[in-house]
Amino acid sequence: MATEPQTGKQIMGQFKHISTEATKQMLEAGTAALVDIRDENSFAGGHIKGAVHLDNVSLPDFIVEADPDVPLIVCCYHGNSSQSAASFLNEKGFEEVYSMDGGFEAWRAQFPFETA
């Protein structure tokens, strides 16, 4: 959770935006985890290598099992739904959460051979 500089209070629901390029760098360096919140069929049809599919069924286990200190990148279709999911995950205790701008569609356009 972020801390408000003036008061020292924790700020809930804060996340950062991240580009596809920065996402690729963090994943290649092994310094972040990636979750994909698209529907199961879309995920099965193609996703970023190493992504974990996250939906309402898998979410509770993910929250319990994932390391909240590892930076977490959230991916959706176009970078819109990932923002609310990133905020939610931050509120659940994940310290450093990112919403990937442009979503999977931007990734696929930029890195077409980097999908599973």
57-81: pLDDT as tens digits: 999 999 999 999 999 999 999 999 9
> What domain count does the chain have?
1
Q: For residue 28, is it within any domain?
A: yes
Say if 1 falls within a structural domain.
Answer: no
Considering only the C-alpha atoms of the chain, give the largest distance between any 2 of them, rounded to a whole number of Å.
47
**If you compute the radius of gyration of the chain from its CA atoms, what whole number of angstroms results?**
14
- pTM for this model (two decimals): 0.88
**Range(s) of the domain holding residue 74:** 12-110
**Active-site annotation holds for 76:** yes
Helix segments in 10-58, DSSP class H = 20-29, 40-45
Q: Which of 51, 75, 76, 97 is catalytic?
A: 76
pLDDT tens digits, residue range 16-38? 999 999 999 999 999 999 999 99
Residue 23 belongs to a domain: yes
Q: How confident is the model at residue 13 (pLDDT cuts 50, 70, 90)?
A: low
Instruction: Tell me whether residue 54 is in a domain.
Output: yes
**Is 2 a member of any domain?**
no
Domain CATH for 44: 3.40.250.10
Contact yes or no for 73/50 (Cβ under 8 A)? no
Q: How confident is the model at residue 100 (pLDDT cuts 50, 70, 90)?
A: very high
Q: Kindly indicate the confidence band of residue 116, based on its pLDDT and cuts at 50, 70 and 90.
A: confident
Asked if residue 44 is part of any domain, the answer here is: yes
